[in-house]
Amino acid sequence: MRKLNVAIIGHNFMGKAHAHAWRNAPRFFELDAEPVLKVAVGRNQETLKAYADNWGWEETAADWREVVTRDDIDVVDVSVPTDLHAEIAVMAAEAGKHVFCEKPIALGSGQARAMLAAAQSAGIVHYLNHNYRRTPAVMLAKQLIDEGFVGRIFHWRGAYLQDWIVDPDFPLTWHLQREHAGAGPHFDLGSHNVDLARFLVGEITSVSAMTAQFVSERPLPGADAATFSAGSGGGTEAGPVTVEDAAFVTAQFENGALGSIDTSRFAPGRKNHHAFEIYGSDGSIVFDLERMNELQVYSRHDPAHVQGFRTVLATEGIHPYVAAWWPPGHVIGYEHAFHHAVVDFVRAITDGTEVRPNFEDGLRETLVLEAALKSAASGARVEVEAV
Ligand code: SOE
């Protein structure tokens, strides 16, 4: 069978989620090529070695520039902080490698445009990892919308709320610094929600927004600080938080729907509340990632005496991706959507099909997110720039 040699740049949270998927997706899904965990690249050689040994990467390396141009590499997996995405993805694309890139795509639309241009002129497969599109329940929502279950869509009510930095002593990780992250939860979490809004409802044409910052200074992180690691607080030195802590956006869609997207890391009790509600002329659909196997649906065409939301457990073999996993009711979890992304990405390479979201989607969502930041700064409603 054809082999696809993968080089992963980065080995923290997403490095694990991706390695898990590269290894195991072919065990559950039939693919025409076998991903090979060839080389893992990172700065800290000690933790990188432990990561590579644990997940079965054949080699480790310190310099991503040398690796992404190697003749024996087919796929570059970009799993590093956002500020490095553009440089790595552009160089990898120019070297003819297919690129699997974590979200948000880049620090801004300028970088996203450069990534898209490089990918298009090289003719490579480019994928932006909004993994939540590929949960069976979200795919079922898409199917229901396409089948007309909700009719004309009136509203998107989106939220992505977490609580991991409510403690003012949580360290100043890269996520809280504009030069590394581009923006705060508005990019990190809002990019996911805008992706689902575009996927399920359509293009957003104008936005108005407000942002807030609740903690302006935090302790500098210890050397091993990473997302969600409560014990990684730093010493006595502090530094400024240079991103927003929350962003609330209202959005006008091209098709006339009116939407809202709330993102925050200051919502105690909300661990990974990525949720949406869609309301239309014929019915409604509600999803919450913390109940990711379920979809709530309401149909105005149900008999009047039994009308109400019902819960569909999206674990039947007829639901997207499910047949490859377990019998009905044997629920799947967070990591499975990454497997589905790997499957669709590998098939795009072997079959010449298209995998979305790609860098064009990344550019479009960045233009929406940037318009919202402009609106928050000016207080005015802002049109989303054309691609
Ligand atoms: C941290 O906020 C984070 O890991 C995001 O970066 C992911 O994209 C999200 O899926 C979970 O939370």
Question: Mean pLDDT, 10 residues at a time, over the chain (387 residues)?
Answer: 98 97 98 98 97 98 98 98 98 98 98 98 98 98 98 99 98 97 98 99 99 98 58 72 98 99 98 98 98 98 98 98 98 98 98 97 99 98 97
Q: Whose CA is nearest to atom 4 of ligand 1?
A: 227
At 253 the pLDDT is 99
Ligand 1 centre distance from Cα of residue 304 (Å):
41
Q: Whose CA is nearest to atom 11 of ligand 1?
A: 272
Q: Is 386 helix (H, G, I), strand (E, B) or coil?
A: coil
Say if ligand 1 is within 6 A of residue 195 CB: no
Alpha-carbon distance of 382 to 370, in angstroms, equals 10
Cα–Cα nearest to 104, from 224, 255, 247: 247
Rounded to 5 degrees, what are φ and ψ at 47? -70, -30
Say if ligand 1 is within 6 A of residue 245 CB: no
Say if ligand 1 is within 6 A of residue 188 CB: yes
Alpha-carbon distance of 104 to 200, in angstroms, equals 19
At 233 the pLDDT is 53
DSSP assignment letter at 100:
E
At 100 the pLDDT is 99
Ligand 1 centre distance from Cα of residue 307 (Å):
36
Half-sphere exposure of 92 (CA within 13 A, CB side): 31
What is the best residue among 188, 192, 196, 243 to mutate for testing ligand 1's pocket, by most ligand atoms within 8 Å of CB?
Answer: 188
Ligand 1 centre distance from Cα of residue 228 (Å):
10
At 229 the pLDDT is 46
Ligand 1 centre distance from Cα of residue 1 (Å):
34
Domains with residue ranges and CATH for the chain: 2-129 (3.40.50.720), 133-357+364-378 (3.30.360.10)
Alpha-carbon distance of 216 to 323, in angstroms, equals 48
Q: Whose CA is nearest to atom 5 of ligand 1?
A: 188
Residues contacting 335, CB < 8 A, separation 6+: 17, 20, 21
What is the best residue among 166, 227, 229, 244 to mutate for testing ligand 1's pocket, by most ligand atoms within 8 Å of CB?
Answer: 227
Ligand 1 centre distance from Cα of residue 147 (Å):
31
Alpha-carbon distance of 334 to 293, in angstroms, equals 10
134, 142, 147, 252 alpha-carbon torsion, rounded to 10°: -160
Alpha-carbon distance of 202 to 221, in angstroms, equals 40
Ligand 1 centre distance from Cα of residue 188 (Å):
6
C-alpha to C-alpha distances, 223 to 172, 177, 184, nearest whole angstrom: 11, 16, 21
Say if ligand 1 is within 6 A of residue 227 CB: yes
Mode of pairing for the β-strands spanning 283-288 and 98-102: unpaired
Instruction: Measure CA of the first residue to CA of the last residue in the chain; give whole Å.
Output: 39
Say if ligand 1 is within 6 A of residue 262 CB: no
C-alpha to C-alpha distances, 170 to 180, 206, 236, 269, 306, nearest whole angstrom: 17, 35, 12, 16, 48
pTM for the model stands at: 0.96
Q: Whose CA is nearest to atom 6 of ligand 1?
A: 188
Rounded to 5 degrees, what are φ and ψ at 252? -100, 125
Ligand 1 centre distance from Cα of residue 170 (Å):
16
Ligand 1 centre distance from Cα of residue 243 (Å):
16
Say if ligand 1 is within 6 A of residue 229 CB: no
Alpha-carbon distance of 155 to 173, in angstroms, equals 35
Ligand 1 centre distance from Cα of residue 87 (Å):
22
In ligand 1, the atom with minimum distance to the C-alpha of 103 is 8
Say if ligand 1 is within 6 A of residue 44 CB: no
Look up residue 143 and give its two tokens.
């199917």
DSSP string, 215-247: --EEEPPPTT--TT-GGG---S-EEE--S-SEE
Alpha-carbon distance of 380 to 357, in angstroms, equals 29
Mode of pairing for the β-strands spanning 310-313 and 153-161: unpaired
In ligand 1, the atom with minimum distance to the C-alpha of 191 is 8
Ligand 1 centre distance from Cα of residue 175 (Å):
10
